[in-house]
């Protein structure tokens, strides 16, 4: 999920056109590094638990809205980001509940990542208000 977010944010941070898009592009560009950090932290935890981080052929993608063909659809990009952040928050909440009393390290990691995702969500909800008024 985090890797797909990186890919979509990268595409949108490059593909968006127009004066109104500049702030969104900057925000997405900054989020790429943070989301990649999330993926790295999760990968390290998977390895600590005895798992393997999958390569590109084993990663399932396609759960998030894709970058728009219309490169000036700033509102569409904002809505896609909100959708991705809501899905990430829901996934982290699910993991937090599943690890309760079982795996405090993973739970703590997911609590931290949930906080970061909620921060992104609120930021882009604010952008949506501004762009749709």
Q: What is the pLDDT of residue 27?
A: 96
Dist. CA 128–CA 125, nearest whole Å:
5
> Encoding tokens for residue 83?
């959708």
- Domains (range + CATH), the chain: 2-62+70-132 (1.20.1260.10)
3-state class of 86 per DSSP? helix
Give residue 5's pLDDT: 94
> Tokens 């999330």, residue?
38
Per-residue CA distances from 38 to 30, 45, 69 (Å): 13, 11, 28
**Spatial contact of 9 and 85, defined as CB atoms under 8 Å apart:** no
Nearest-angstrom CA–CA distance, 28 and 93 = 23
CA distance 133 to 129: 6
Cα separation, 127 vs 35, whole angstroms:
19
* Ordered mean pLDDT values, 10 residues apiece, the chain (133 residues): 94 95 95 96 98 91 86 96 96 98 98 98 97 88
pLDDT tens digits for range 43-67: 999 999 999 999 988 888 888 888 8
pTM over 0.75: yes
Q: Report the share of the chain in percent with pLDDT over 90.
A: 86
CB atoms within 10 A of CB 100: 10
């Amino acid at each position: 999920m985090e890797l797909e977010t990186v890919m979509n944010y990268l595409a949108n941070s490059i593909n968006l056109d127009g004066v109104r898009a500049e702030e969104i592009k900057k925000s997405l560009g900054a989020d790429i590094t943070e989301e990649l950090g999330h993926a790295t932290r999760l990968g390290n935890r998977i390895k600590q638990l005895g798992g393997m981080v999958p390569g590109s052929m084993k990663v399932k993608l396609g759960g998030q809205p894709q970058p728009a063909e219309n490169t000036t659809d700033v509102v569409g990009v904002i809505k896609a980001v909100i959708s991705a952040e809501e899905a990430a928050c829901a996934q982290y909440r699910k993991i937090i509940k599943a690890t309760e009393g079982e795996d405090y390290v993973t739970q703590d990691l997911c609590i931290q990542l949930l906080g970061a995702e909620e921060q992104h969500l609120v930021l882009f909800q604010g952008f949506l208000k501004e762009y749709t008024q």
